[in-house]
Structure 1
């Protein structure tokens, strides 16, 4: 409508000019050609029309320009409103805190994120944030106003970027912010205010702290892990390793070395190839019991994106324990076998000793053969003790200790050694006329002497000749004297020192530490079990004795055993010619070895007894069942086929409860007195049987039965 009105005025002007144009034209013609025919009114009208036309054109142009300016201003106002709305929107949703300050440093505006950072929402009064407390990160002193980044920006006109501050928020929390400040200037360059941006780094700093703690824990776990761990890159170069390997091996590979590549052992080359293959295929692989420098390792390779993690677990002790377990099982099997062999050997010794005693009865006192028979009898008795030890070892029975004279044991050992050691090795004995007695098992002491002497003889084999010395010495130690024995600890008191010396190649100090370990040997495979000195050590400990080794390379070895002395006197052996007890009772002898039955029958028959001998438990039971009252005593072997001694005794007692029974066994200690009473057995004696022991036991049991009947 407005446009239409404007156009209407323009038309009026044009029409007025159209109707008035003749007058100006006529006036123009008259002036030009000299004739004036215009009236005053026409002149005024012409002037007025002209002026009106000019004014009309002017107002027309002015009106159009004015409309343009109004339209431009309206567009500018719309842009300004849009810009202000956009600023407010951005200001309110920015994830950083924004503050606006005037030229005096007073805060005039802040966004919601700034309020959140400072712990106060909604922002009602911006001015109250002027009192905030802040300090540089790591400092405990609050900053003065003049030191604050915003104040310095306003006063100095500088831009500050990335200054880390710790603030005390209004909600009681402490936050870390990164502060950026910049001045706001007018066109003349005068500072009119400043803007401050706060980036909340609290969570990031907390995560950094957690990451540092995590790295520290990982580093501590990695470095102090008892399992040796090595991390390598794609080229198998060591990036890092822990200290577990140094504790075990005394050294560590250097960072930057190629894992396994720099070692000359064949297995190292194989492990390098396996390592590279695992990383190439991205496959984990485990290797068990890899031998490396006398150690056994379980190695695991676990590849990752930048290399591989290698763990090395030292299983040397476990492997050695497994070896020892296998050896122990072998020894257990040997013990079981030895028990069986010893039982059979016991029967053979019984036949030998029994017939020996019967032969001695037939040989006159003046015969030279009698001494030879006594030597055989002595050797048989010593063999009986050895068998007794074998049975004790196989059945884990305690060894009985008696008061013994070491001089006699050393002489017997010397006699045995001369028959087993090469004649090129001289055997010497150094013993005083009198030696203190000790509490010991004579057979085990002899075993110590023989084992140590055998090792000494082996040490002299390379030279071909040498001297083996067996010595005894009485030693009395007081508190001061006991200290002179160096590396061993001895309590004050009386000791008997057994000394075994050789002139062999000597023993290195490193080997001395392992000398008495089980299965340790310096001999070639198949020439030694490594158990000889271990057994010696066990016997020494069981006798409360102490070992000392003195040795130097190429100067021989001396091993001393300190036995505590005793004031008791050694037991004297009973005279062979002593009167043996006799009787007339009927005795049933049961043993699966017919020779032993015959010997027992002859011995008991010579003592006046009526003897019925059988070689079968079933036969004995049938004989007893036929006439139980005809038998006064039963002597039965323990180990027999079909029905052993215990089973036979039980069957006989069921028939006749009061029948006295003597049980013969390889080791009497394996059956306690309580067990004998429970089984109804009157007495237990060890095989092989001695005539005096058998005669005494038979008479005692029969007399006890007579006493009970009365």
Structure 2
């Protein structure tokens, strides 16, 4: 557009210049023609003066003829000659007056002679007699005068022609120069005018763009002077006061504000900021509405000076924080409830920053050991000094194993010194809960439980009772944590959902978008916190899945090489690529670490060779004979060998018994190999040991092989999916309903939304033929999502239903499928994922109807 305007501008200059040049050429031609005409007139006069000489000569000849023969014919010719000379002299005199008065004076000398001759001729007519001698005398005088006149006339005519030409040329140059300057001035004025117009238009466009930007900002933006006059206000302020922006601009703030006292206080703060020239940033303001509800605002005021009139102004930006504050209060309330639940379970909480070595503890952790809160300190080195010396090395080794990413939960028992000097048995239950992108653990969290009474009781009965009590406590925590997680996830769904909607509507790189990214980061951290709480509360075993033993072996060897002394050499033999086993990854990892650690301890300080071998074996009938637990089929055979002192044949059959150990007191619990056998057996495998005194020991582990390797599905990038169908959204949380309605409305869907499940049933009864899909929460008053879905499916069996839940142990994908529910989605809901699920179910439903 700007290039087009520039082309038009330059074209206008060219046209003006061409018109000016044409006008100058025309004036020059006109002036030149005027000079030419004037020159022609001078030459005409000169021509008549030359003719005068010829006429006088003719007159002399006629006089001579008449004197010799005074006839009537010659007389008539003589009179005509006199008249012609009169005429010539008149022309010369008249023309000479235009050029030079001096010629006029000389030319008049001719008249007396002409008059004398005329008188003589006239007298001759009357008297029929001519005085020829007098006429000759008059002619002589006439000739002399005529010669003088011709000479002077020639001089003055030539001078006049030369002066006239110079004068005309000079005047033409002056006129052309003047006209050229006028054209240049005109072009300059046109350029200045056009540039001023362009700058004015550009300034106007910039102001309009700024106006639109300010109006799009959802916060209240208002510029006022020291007297409270509104200089600028955006649409948000206009909506707040119920006035259009043009009417609001120029008004006094106190006149349009609904609460004049409040307005006066605001203006007083304005004047203070202007006078001190010190900005106020993010000041919190709480306003109580007529209905008793509170609203939170963040107010910033920045003073500045107008560049137009140097007027002192203030820029006021007010942001409504009510939604965020309400969410924070609900989160805080949920945290308090969680704290009460943990106190009820008599658990001490700890949170360990692995990078800084600083740990934070709950109050119960301190009181459990008899210390005051904050005593003896937060550094982990101080905590280590409280561990019983006999337990310290074991605890360090176990923590070293578990303090890595994806290592699972740990439960370690050891003794801690109390303030009175006595020791209490503590059950430390924890897990690494945060790692960086490089797989380095950053933070671990867990609980402490005082199990002193359990340990001091009998090994069998008291241990079982303690385990039962622990299980009940963990079950109670799981129940409480589940309920709290439901509330947490509802809150986080609203926070993350609205934040994503607001972020998607903002420009990349803008400060508001960056602020919302931080909100989303904090929300996702809160989501991870809920997951950690639920993880600690679960008592069920991990789900088994296909495991590649060769990969797991490599991880174990890498860890052992980092922990075992350099005197122990580790080797691995693998017979090519083979299948997988169906196993719990963490449990298999645990037994491998146990066997490798036992082998290293058996070789002692002198070191030796630790060998691991993995081969595939197809066992036939003769291979499984005499080996209980093995059947015909394909197995993965894992061997762990050492060249230590070996095991006495007398006790080799007892090494897998619980609490049997050959180690010194305090160096082994006797449960290691029992656990190994239990885990292997639970995986439908077999384990035994071969040993020869003085040559070492080999443990053989057989696991059934599965032929179909499990390949991880690549997770495609999830983006928001659009549609035009009709949805019904049901959730007892208003913020979630509003968020989902806004989300799917912006994606093009028609949305019915309600917080009342009974009301949702009424809507469905009336509009079930229009509704294409239902999204419902599980936990709602009066009617759960499961029951609501069942009633809707009775009316419309083909309707796709998505069930959302913050936490439910009973609800699973399989259970939902049995109920006819299309999809189970866990909160907090990811908006892009939910939109993709909706789109997939709608497309599947349409395909089913079409077929």
Q: With structure 1 as the length reference, what TM-score do the two structures score?
A: 0.35
Larger RCO, structure (CA 8 Å, separation 6 or more):
1
TM-score by length of structure 2 reads: 0.31
